Amino acid sequence: MASVQPLWRLCDPAGIPNMANLVSRRQFSIEWAHCDPAGIVFNSRFYEFFDWGTWTLFAAALGVAPAELAAAGGNDSIPVAEVGAPFLIPLVEVDAEFLAAVRFGDVVEMTSQIREFRRSSFEVEHRLSAGGELAVIGHEKRVFVIRDRTDPSIIKSLPIPIEVIKRFEA
């Protein structure tokens, strides 16, 4: 398995960390449903895996199961009391670099970590290895949003609370 080097902690002029070093790890087996007829993982499935990694990372940092995260804003177990509403982290940009084929039956080791926090967005890096070989590197950009209280079909971004950012420091 390829090793992931910890990210260096950087701060903006106000002292808010731009990067974090908490790493989530997930191991899973490639199933036939992930593959094309040749038994190679279909590229779009990696974007699903990236999504798993991001939600697992947030669950590890905030101590809440992924299914409960969107309903947890304002919950005392998650330090986002100033948000006062459930928050979401929609995907706005994603890319991947495919370095080696991943096949049916492979055991994949995936690491996910925040590369950078910005005012209301953040970037996540995912590294997937199979058979000890780095196979895929992915990047996501997501935004921190809440639903409008008067019209829940509207979402609006807001600054990521420093308390949330601090939870990603290992």
Fill in the amino acid letter for 128: L
* 157, pLDDT greater than 60: yes
Report the length, in residues, of the chain.
170
CA distances from 23 to 7, 14, 33, 71, 85 (A): 10, 25, 27, 24, 27
pLDDT tens across 2-56, in order? 333 333 334 444 544 445 589 999 999 999 999 999 999 999 999 999 999 999 9
- The full set of domain ranges for the chain reads 23-166
- Among residues 39, 40, 66, the alpha carbon closest in space to that of 52 is found at 66
- DSSP letter at 85 equals S
Tabulate helix, strand, coil % of the chain (nearest 5). 20, 35, 45
Burial of 66 (0-12, 13-18, 19+ CB in 10 A): middle
Q: Are 98 and 135 in contact (CB under 8 A)?
A: yes
User: May I ask the CATH architecture of the domain 23-166?
Assistant: Roll (3.10)
What's the confidence (pLDDT) of residue 170? 62
Task: List, for residues 86-139, the tens digit of each pLDDT value.
Answer: 778 999 999 999 999 999 999 999 999 999 999 999 999 999 999 999 999 999
